[in-house]
Amino acid sequence: MGSKGSLFRSVWLALCLLFLLPLTVEASNRLDRIEMGYDRLILHFSRPLERSAVRHFVLQGKSSVRYVFDFSDTRLGSRSITRGLKYSSSRVRSIRASQYRKRTVRLVIETPEPYAIGHYPLSERNYAVVLPKGTNSIKGLFASLSKRKTKGPQRKANSQTPKPSAKTAKSTKKKSAKKADAKRATGSKLMGEPGIHLKRRYTVILDPGHGGHDSGALDPSRRYQEKRAILAIAHWVRRHLKAMGFRVLMTRSNDRFIKLHHRTRYANRKHGDIFVSIHANAVGRLSRARKVRGIETYYLSPARSARARRVAAKENSIAFKKYYKDSMNVYLQTLTRSKIVLSNKLALDVQRSMLQDLRKHYRGVVDGGVRPAPFWVLVGAEMPAILVETGYITHPTEKKRLYDARYEDILAKGIAKGIARFLANREREME
């Protein structure tokens, strides 16, 4: 064989390699996006991530610590995947992701000092990696939220009125300009709440629990259903919040079942500022049905009293994979103090506001208190998140009230005002 043969062979080899190359790089999963969360990174994969695909180790250097995560059988969606991430440079030196090997994506978080890192699946395709405390401070979080959302003029309550036709547009232009001036002078005053001014338009995610085949709690006659009462209340809350100028989204607006982790995922995807899950309570033993009543508000926290555990067990009861159950405990351990405090404050404002309004019109409104509890539906929410137990569907008076439009309306207005107060206080704190 002469040089002709070897030339042919090398051309053939090159051709083969050319065809093989894309095949060898092709992995079954892809890291599409890395999101800077409240206190952690959220990795978005194109397919469900197997637990065995994640390998983690720590490299301790002299002046820094590197936390390394290798995701096997995974491709990097884009090279600039970590470019836009904003974080406090004093806590984190760098966050980098690269195609470390043909089928392995490597994520490296470099910090000046060691910290208690945690990592866990948020859902099948989302994986969370905890960052050092203060990486994304509350102040920074709200600042970044307002930057992202103050594009264009802020819409107020009255912006929902239908647009005038072209003919009348000219004449109303002057009027609306005058109106806008008046608005600016008084700030974005909220309806029925002269004390509250908000600087921007926030997004509230309302989450009426259960739905579809999952009726939630029932009264002994089974005529009163949690899923119906809370959907009605959620619609009232939505109406009040919209009137106050909020953007409002609902995880369900009709009688439809939605998985727990899809609810918070939706809230994160829609960049909600506040997450409120709405439920109704029930007593386990019917002999106590006449005695137990009241409104309670819960926030996610590892702290658990016997009562909180009982309520959480009731709301968590919809079956989810053991895989997620395991990660619940990991998640609870990684909750930062600041996140718990914010949700706690939101819970206090909403609880206080509901009771205030209801007590003006109804007797025997019982304050069940604000409590920490490990609710699955609140796990993974990237924003202050609470769960309101609007009353006991097993109590003879409360079940009727929970089905009464006037009661629902007043209760809902209380929730809306509580949210507005919480946000107004946060804005004041940030000044």
- Report the residue from 37, 208, 209, 414 that binds Zn ion according to the rule CB under 5 A: 209
The interface region with Zn ion, picked from 20-28, 155-163, 251-259, 274-282 by CB under 5 A, is 274-282
The interface region with Zn ion, picked from 33-41, 52-60, 110-118, 275-283 by CB under 5 A, is 275-283
Minimal distance, residue 209 CB to Zn ion, in Å: 4
Minimal distance, residue 252 CB to Zn ion, in Å: 13
DSSP-assigned beta bridge partners for residue 121 = 127
Of the pair 209, 245, the CB lying nearest Zn ion is at 209
- Parallel, antiparallel or unpaired: strands 203-208 and 274-281: parallel
Cα separation, 429 vs 5, in Å, equals 78
Residue 216 contacts Zn ion per CB under 5 A: yes
Minimal distance, residue 421 CB to Zn ion, in Å: 25
Residue 368 contacts Zn ion per CB under 5 A: no
Cα separation, 5 vs 11, in Å, equals 10
Number of residues engaging Zn ion in binding (CB under 5 A): 4
Provide the terminal-to-terminal Cα distance of the chain, rounded to the nearest Å.
82
Site string for Zn ion, 108-147 (x = CB under 5 A): ----------------------------------------
Q: For residue 52, give every residue at least 6 positions away whose Cβ sits within 8 Å of its Cβ, in sequence order, or none.
A: 72
Site string for Zn ion, 278-297 (x = CB under 5 A): -x------------------
Cα separation, 347 vs 304, in Å, equals 16
Of the pair 279, 399, the CB lying nearest Zn ion is at 279
**398, 365 in Cβ contact below 8 A?**
no
* Paired tokens of 79: 């090279």
Of the pair 209, 391, the CB lying nearest Zn ion is at 209
Name the closest residue to Zn ion (Cβ). 279
Minimal distance, residue 275 CB to Zn ion, in Å: 15
Cα separation, 44 vs 35, in Å, equals 8
3-state helix, strand, coil in the chain (%, to 5): 40, 25, 35
Minimal distance, residue 316 CB to Zn ion, in Å: 10
Minimal distance, residue 181 CB to Zn ion, in Å: 46
Cα separation, 391 vs 281, in Å, equals 6
**105, 99 in Cβ contact below 8 A?**
yes
The interface region with Zn ion, picked from 97-105, 125-133, 201-209, 298-306 by CB under 5 A, is 201-209
Site for Zn ion in 287-346 (CB under 5 A): 315
Residue 391 contacts Zn ion per CB under 5 A: no
The rounded radius of gyration (Å) of the Cα atoms in the chain is: 26
Of the pair 85, 260, the CB lying nearest Zn ion is at 260
Cα separation, 391 vs 361, in Å, equals 16
The interface region with Zn ion, picked from 13-21, 195-203, 205-213, 362-370 by CB under 5 A, is 205-213
Of the pair 279, 401, the CB lying nearest Zn ion is at 279
Q: Which residues bind Zn ion (CB under 5 A)?
A: 209, 216, 279, 315
